[in-house]
Amino acid sequence: MSRWATAILLALFMVSTLQATTVTGLYEGTTRVKDRSEATRTAAYSAALSVVLTKVSGRSDAPARVGAAVDGAQRYVQRYAYVAGGLLEVGFDSAAVNQLLDQAGLPLWDRDRPTTLVVYPLALQGMREAYTATEQTARLRGVPILWANGVTSEQFAGADAAKLQDLAQQYNAVAVLVARMDAAATSAASLHWQLVFNGATQEFTGSAEEGPNFAAETLSRYYAASSKESVSVQMEVGGIDNLDAYGRATNYLGNLLLVRNLAVLSLQGDVLTLRVELRGNRESLRRTLAVDQRLMEVTAAMDATAAPVADDAGVLKYRYRP
């Protein structure tokens, strides 16, 4: 076995897989309606589109940035259905939504999103309405969350960012969201939140809904691809040793929201060479692919034959993980 292949296998063995979730219904929004009249439905379309714009971009200011187009939301509707609880579910044309966000200079956050670990204080762990509020907001914002079972925020009082990041890693989560409350508090209306992500910590005060809102804003700024940037890169993907691997790898890349166009240049041995036109930049692609690690980047240190990548002209090298 070659030194390159040995390094690849060792890296695949050692890599810690993040817990990622494919957000379903990314272009679907649900809103409450008082009746089934056309006027009410038209207004509901705008409310539902606002939900979708926020979810796809990760930005709460997306509806305001898109502007007047939100009022004409019916033009982008592909389907709608009335469901139990006086709700209207609306599905929108994904290409049209992406174009609205592009025109407003807003980013797109891909469907595969990393998990955020949520830690509640002991006093809230039996309060179902608080859990429900956090979960519903996380769902609306497209932020996958995971509850820390058997762990309370009191156990991490005064903990530094490194200790909390270690806790997140135990659950294969990318970030940890810790809620704390004052001793005299009796509800989840005003919590002290701490978000630890990428080695940094941020603190804020807000309700049970505000934790996932803040996480969405922070994570999307890291993972979402900006429409203001566009670049074409060459990729080499190893491990493509059969037709199934070829189809899965190309379908995966082609379905990423940040990929504008994908062209196969060659297939030699088990290495597939591609030209990829991106929304965003090389780093956007790296961060997106790192979420679920179906493709694992091969660094110059792992590849004894590769020269260090000095600039954007370098080939991105990945290994397919079936």
DSSP of 179-232: EE--TT--SSSSEEEEEEETTEEEEEEE-TTHHHHHHHHHHHHHHSBPTT-EEE
Mean pLDDT (whole number) for 134-156: 94
- What letters, b where the CB count within 10 A reaches 16 and e where it falls short, cover 59-69? bbebbebbeeb
pLDDT the model gives residue 186: 62
Query: Do 193 and 204 meet the contact criterion of CB atoms below 8 Å apart?
Result: yes
For residue 19, give Cα distances in angstroms to 8, 25, 115. Answer: 21, 19, 6
* Higher per-residue confidence, 182 vs 222: 222
Mean pLDDT (whole number) for 52-73: 97
Distance from first CA to last CA of the chain, Å, rounded? Answer: 20
Reported as a pLDDT band with limits 50, 70 and 90, residue 20 is confident
- Region of poorest pLDDT, from 21-35, 155-169, 255-269: 155-169
Identity (one letter) of the amino acid at 10?
L
pLDDT of 308 above 80: no
Mean pLDDT (whole number) for 100-113: 96
184: Cβ contacts below 8 Å, ≥ 6 apart: none
Reference 112, options 298, 302, 290, 297; nearest CA is 290
State the DSSP code for 34.
Answer: S
The tokens for 233 are 């890169």
Question: From the CB of residue 34, how many other CB atoms can be counted at a distance below 10 Å?
Answer: 9
Reported as a pLDDT band with limits 50, 70 and 90, residue 60 is very high
Mean pLDDT of the chain: 89
Identity (one letter) of the amino acid at 195?
L
Reported as a pLDDT band with limits 50, 70 and 90, residue 159 is confident
For residue 134, give Cα distances in angstroms to 115, 124, 145, 208, 317. Answer: 14, 12, 9, 5, 39
* Higher per-residue confidence, 182 vs 171: 171
pLDDT the model gives residue 17: 57
285-294 pLDDT, tens digit each: 999 999 988 9
21-33 pLDDT, tens digit each: 999 999 999 999 9
pLDDT of 78 above 90: yes
Please report, rounded to a whole number, the percentage of residues in the chain having pLDDT higher than 90: 77
Identity (one letter) of the amino acid at 68?
A
